Chains A and B, each alone.
Chain A
């Protein structure tokens, strides 16, 4: 008899941080991919930079806290926090080198070739340009700068998290007049700094010197050039940019916070004071200057990154927006009308009553979701609107509609999740606005983040109360809905409506329902549901019944789920995983018979939908939801998994999965060593799933337009006066 394998062993798992770094590497791969339009490559590079910032502020910071607290518990892959930090450090240094090599060696020359010159050093400016930038400095920059020098009477200033700064060594003017030049110079060197203001554009366009060639310079170069105007009584010995990253993980003790709102406001203020965990300096920085910064910030040598280029590459996203380079960008895609809705007359409620409606963003427009709430706000038969808001856009039409609904006398309950990371300030503003309009605002649940995306509209109709529900995989954010691929349904299915009511009762602080009809909720039931569904496939495989799992999500790092997947694969279940980001599962685990494949798709749109397919012995079940297979989603958040009930919608959702599985260009496959590789495309058709969807939805839209035109009739006049 074959020995039973213990799939809980750490050797069968990958460290989540290294897996995340591998994901960022895949994005960097897109920045390096010559087949991508040049400006798209800039965008990908910018994303790697902002991603890395967030990774450090949250994940690395957390590991540092663990190390400081002498916490030595090993992770899923058997690594202690210290070991993880070491590996991360090494990998990040290599990663940053690759980022800047891409920027300096590939992108800058290509930009130049294509009519965009980045003047890297102010010293390279012509006399005419110098005049221009100095004037720009005087008019725009100087008024907003706050130069700060450090001496015995002035303490080291606060360096804000993620801010770009110029650090300088300065000496008081006239120090050498007394014939002690050398000595005095040594003694009187002082540290001075100025923050590069984030309110001003980082990229400054220079006057056109040559037709058809745009030239830009970065703001810090302009400030550096004019540093002497900030410290008038000093000589500037040297100036170098630097940037720090601080621990930003909000660890709010919710049980102790009497007023959660105030606590979060306090935490935001505190965030900039967090421990420095990463220092970026321009390569070649003066060692004395570096030593001062290092000492004051109490940062270790290994956390210092010498950058061979401009710090903070997120400015590339702004560069992407420069006009005149459209041919170097992917043609913008306009989200198409939702076919099922466009083909019907009546209010959105009439349409939902006729059939469940699937929404696939951004290929299809997010407008129906906004309209759903807008129409509900005005509809006299609507009694109540209830919604969870995780991250909303600035000037959100949804917020406006909810406020209007409350003003129209509807009962509006909104759960605003204040704990949505990095969005807290934004959320507090919206929450207050809604409260002022008369909405009942719930500020999240103590101890749990509410990540579910659900809207319930209760309508009093002729036949009785009817509930209309929107359930989605993405946030109620009309802006990100243009960039993130998400799915959702609009339904008035009675069982789902009942569950939706129960969800909001629960979120309002009432007891959980006695039972659920269709929805599965984290943190109480969802994990068990997934384990049950995976286990059922395993049993089916054992009985030689059809058994297959296709699961698409953002991250996979829950040990219990991965273990269940290994066991299912060992029993013969074919498992296709489409995991955009972190994946702690490995594909080389003994006994799983190559039954598991993991692919990651990184494209122009951010893959964000969570879709789960279970073969169920030939009676397939499809689910969608807000949760990834991560402990935080399954155990510490309120998440919803909902089934796709309508068979027509099931076909459509399956088609989404099937198209992604056919991707031969953007899909990268996990290798036994945990790295990812693109497919050897020789002899294979080039399929880019995201492009396929764009084409499909555009084609559908065209067909519908044609049909509408063909259906146009002229009404003959039958009556002559």
Chain B
């Protein structure tokens, strides 16, 4: 049987972990080994912005050991990712280069949204359980060391995703700076996350009821998975039982907690903080069920690798989640959904017809789609400065599944739909964007500009748009009885940019006959 041996390495805020998987079409992903080493990188980077030399030495030593373990399993491929602790070091790039030189391991950096997306993928890899639970209003809570990601699902679809701070390790660091009595801890935790959570609830949940909480974390999930508690079934627990468990924790000393739950004593403080956070979320959201599927970032890394390498077929449409998320943002900023959908449709049709010309991949198609949905959202802030405002909104909004770079690409596209396009020499002064990304922005902006110009007065119905590319001309035929004088004017202007980018002249033709 053909299978691949793969290693996923997670350089986390307080733990370095590696999972070895066998991946095959027949058996899916099978975890063969899970090696974990406690190393609180976050303690250094959150406090000082750098990793101490001792920590770097320890990290490199462990990674070298990981290499030996990979060799012993004859691992064919690996992916290693650093998350917030590495991301938040001031010298992340230098650090990663140093690690690569010393260990041979290439660590990629995950943005928060990428990391959460992988966490989310790891849960979705649980198949039917996930599909069933997100049919009902569900909050997906991913407690990391540095921050917490909350995503809302309803009717099998992602509604929104938000990142709030602090995460559990960062909270412990913050609390360490305070002097307080043990009975004050619960209140402090509530205060530290309460404000953000309350806003989240008001903005995104409103009066509706959240039925379930899906939990991804490193402490409470383990307890629920181990079934050391009563009333837990494969990570599922009624929230009222969980609240009882938390109130029991409050009465116990760390040593007692460690003994009863079979965990190392040094983990009890983080377990307790996580439990208090979850308690607060349950109370605020009114959830009835808690499900901790017991997966980790490593599962997500492996799942993504398997999916990308076509070793496995995706069980859930993750791109649809990103699109759903973009629609939700558009809705939040009072964008016109109907127009956004029309714009999206034509833009995608253009993209698909121009495959040979633009040479872009499916991923860029997704970026185009998101930009098409969001290119008007800045109007919520300023009708005159839509481009800049749309840019700011996109850059400030988490979109689970998009990397930071991809988000920046989308933000620039929505900006240059209305703002005069800046060339690379100018643009690179403001960002660290590479040439390739710049070209993507140019190509996708050219498409959206063209599509937007068709709807400048918002009269057009895009029900019937025909595209024909012949030689150096792209003929766009619109079948509408409306007066398109303004659109045609705008089109001319945008056609220049389009032609500059693609060397194809777009020509618009109106067909009114069928209306009569």
**Chain A residues proximal to chain B, CB less than 8 Å:** 383-384, 411, 458, 460, 462-465, 501-502, 505, 509-515, 524-525, 528
> B264 near A: Cβ within 8 Å?
yes
**Chain B residues within 8 Å of A512, by CB:** 264
The answer on a CB contact under 8 Å between B3 and A514 is no
Considering the complex, give the chain B residue whose CB is closest to the CB of A501: B33
A383 to B74, CA, bound (A): 8
Considering the complex, give the chain B residue whose CB is closest to the CB of A529: B262
A506 CB, min distance to chain B CBs, angstroms:
10
The answer on a CB contact under 8 Å between B73 and A465 is yes
**Chain A residues within 8 Å of B262, by CB:** 524-525, 528
Interface size, B (range) = 20 to 34
If A383-B72, A465-B32, A505-B33 touch, whether A514 touches B38 (CB-CB below 8 Å) is no
The answer on a CB contact under 8 Å between A465 and B22 is yes
**Chain B residues within 8 Å of A463, by CB:** 1
A502 to B32, CA, bound (A): 10
**Interface positions of B from 59 to 113, Cβ below 8 Å from A:** 68, 71-74
A377 CB, min distance to chain B CBs, angstroms:
15
The answer on a CB contact under 8 Å between B222 and A514 is yes
B482 CB, min distance to chain A CBs, angstroms:
62
The answer on a CB contact under 8 Å between B37 and A411 is no
A230 CB, min distance to chain B CBs, angstroms:
58
The answer on a CB contact under 8 Å between B36 and A510 is yes
> B128 near A: Cβ within 8 Å?
no
Mostly, the B contact residues are mixed
The answer on a CB contact under 8 Å between B36 and A511 is yes
Contact partner, A514, options B33, B37, B259, B294, Cβ 8 Å? B294
**Chain A residues within 8 Å of B179, by CB:** none
A515 to B30, CA, bound (A): 16
A224 to B244, CA, bound (A): 79
Considering the complex, give the chain B residue whose CB is closest to the CB of A502: B34
Q: Which of A383, A465, A528 has the most CB of B within 10 A?
A: A465
Q: Which of A458, A501, A515, A524 has the most CB of B within 10 A?
A: A515
A501 to B36, CA, bound (A): 12
> B53 near A: Cβ within 8 Å?
no
Contact partner, B1, options A383, A411, A464, A505, Cβ 8 Å? A464
If A463-B1, A505-B35 touch, whether A411 touches B72 (CB-CB below 8 Å) is yes
**Chain A residues within 8 Å of B35, by CB:** 505, 510
The answer on a CB contact under 8 Å between B225 and A464 is no
**Chain B residues within 8 Å of A524, by CB:** 262
A371 CB, min distance to chain B CBs, angstroms:
22
**Chain B residues within 8 Å of A464, by CB:** 1, 3, 22, 24, 27, 30, 32
- Can you name 6 A-B residue pairings with CB atoms under 8 Å? A411-B72, A465-B5, A510-B37, A514-B34, A525-B262, A528-B262
> B310 near A: Cβ within 8 Å?
no
**Chain B residues within 8 Å of A528, by CB:** 259, 262
The answer on a CB contact under 8 Å between B68 and A411 is yes
B65 CB, min distance to chain A CBs, angstroms:
8
**Chain B residues within 8 Å of A525, by CB:** 262
A464 to B77, CA, bound (A): 16
Given contact pairs A464-B22, A505-B36, a sample of 7 additional A-B residue pairs in the complex whose CB atoms are under 8 Å apart: A411-B71, A458-B72, A505-B34, A505-B35, A510-B35, A511-B38, A513-B34
If A510-B36, A514-B222, A515-B226 touch, whether A460 touches B74 (CB-CB below 8 Å) is yes
A592 CB, min distance to chain B CBs, angstroms:
27
B234 CB, min distance to chain A CBs, angstroms:
12
> B15 near A: Cβ within 8 Å?
yes
Contact partner, B225, options A458, A465, A514, Cβ 8 Å? A514
A513 to B38, CA, bound (A): 12
The answer on a CB contact under 8 Å between A515 and B222 is yes
A511 to B37, CA, bound (A): 5
**Chain B residues within 8 Å of A509, by CB:** 37
**Interface positions of B from 194 to 227, Cβ below 8 Å from A:** 222, 225-226
A525 to B259, CA, bound (A): 8
The answer on a CB contact under 8 Å between A515 and B73 is no
Q: Which of B3, B30, B33, B225 has the most CB of A within 10 A?
A: B33
**Interface positions of B from 218 to 245, Cβ below 8 Å from A:** 222, 225-226
The answer on a CB contact under 8 Å between A383 and B294 is no
A458 to B72, CA, bound (A): 9
**Chain B residues within 8 Å of A501, by CB:** 32-33
A509 to B58, CA, bound (A): 13
The answer on a CB contact under 8 Å between A514 and B264 is no
**Chain B residues within 8 Å of A502, by CB:** 34
**Chain B residues within 8 Å of A383, by CB:** 72-74
B336 CB, min distance to chain A CBs, angstroms:
48
Q: Please, what's the 1-or-0 string for B29-63, where 1 marks a CB less than 8 Å from any CB in chain A?
A: 01011111110000000000000000000000000
Considering the complex, give the chain A residue whose CB is closest to the CB of B36: A511
A673 CB, min distance to chain B CBs, angstroms:
36
A525 CB, min distance to chain B CBs, angstroms:
5
A94 to B22, CA, bound (A): 66
A383 to B75, CA, bound (A): 11
**Interface positions of B from 390 to 413, Cβ below 8 Å from A:** none
The answer on a CB contact under 8 Å between A384 and B72 is yes
Q: Which of B1, B30, B35, B38 has the most CB of A within 10 A?
A: B35
B209 CB, min distance to chain A CBs, angstroms:
32
A383 to B222, CA, bound (A): 30
Q: Please, what's the 1-or-0 string for B431-468, where 1 marks a CB less than 8 Å from any CB in chain A?
A: 00000000000000000000000000000000000000
**Chain A residues within 8 Å of B37, by CB:** 509-511
Q: What 10 A-B pairs have minimum CB-CB distances, sorted nearest first?
A: A411-B72, A511-B36, A515-B226, A464-B22, A514-B222, A384-B72, A510-B35, A465-B32, A505-B35, A510-B37
The answer on a CB contact under 8 Å between B225 and A462 is no
B332 CB, min distance to chain A CBs, angstroms:
38
If A411-B68, A464-B22, A464-B27 touch, whether A514 touches B226 (CB-CB below 8 Å) is yes
A384 to B20, CA, bound (A): 14
**Chain A residues within 8 Å of B15, by CB:** 511
A169 CB, min distance to chain B CBs, angstroms:
60
**Chain B residues within 8 Å of A513, by CB:** 34
**Chain A residues within 8 Å of B68, by CB:** 411
Q: Please, what's the 1-or-0 string for B274-297, where 1 marks a CB less than 8 Å from any CB in chain A?
A: 000000000000000000001000
Considering the complex, give the chain B residue whose CB is closest to the CB of A505: B35
A569 CB, min distance to chain B CBs, angstroms:
25
A289 to B294, CA, bound (A): 74
Considering the complex, give the chain B residue whose CB is closest to the CB of A494: B30
A384 to B22, CA, bound (A): 16
A244 CB, min distance to chain B CBs, angstroms:
43
Considering the complex, give the chain B residue whose CB is closest to the CB of A440: B68
Considering the complex, give the chain B residue whose CB is closest to the CB of A511: B36
Considering the complex, give the chain B residue whose CB is closest to the CB of A525: B262
A465 to B75, CA, bound (A): 11
A634 CB, min distance to chain B CBs, angstroms:
13
A505 to B5, CA, bound (A): 19
A296 to B294, CA, bound (A): 67
**Chain A residues within 8 Å of B30, by CB:** 464
**Chain A residues within 8 Å of B36, by CB:** 505, 510-511
A515 to B259, CA, bound (A): 14
Considering the complex, give the chain B residue whose CB is closest to the CB of A463: B1
Considering the complex, give the chain A residue whose CB is closest to the CB of B267: A511
B154 CB, min distance to chain A CBs, angstroms:
30
A511 to B18, CA, bound (A): 11
A499 to B203, CA, bound (A): 46
B395 CB, min distance to chain A CBs, angstroms:
37
A132 to B499, CA, bound (A): 119
A447 CB, min distance to chain B CBs, angstroms:
13
A463 to B2, CA, bound (A): 8
**Chain B residues within 8 Å of A384, by CB:** 72-73
Considering the complex, give the chain B residue whose CB is closest to the CB of A521: B262
**Chain A residues within 8 Å of B5, by CB:** 465
A513 to B35, CA, bound (A): 8
A411 to B72, CA, bound (A): 6
A458 to B74, CA, bound (A): 11
A411 to B259, CA, bound (A): 35
Considering the complex, give the chain B residue whose CB is closest to the CB of A524: B262
**Chain B residues within 8 Å of A411, by CB:** 68, 71-72
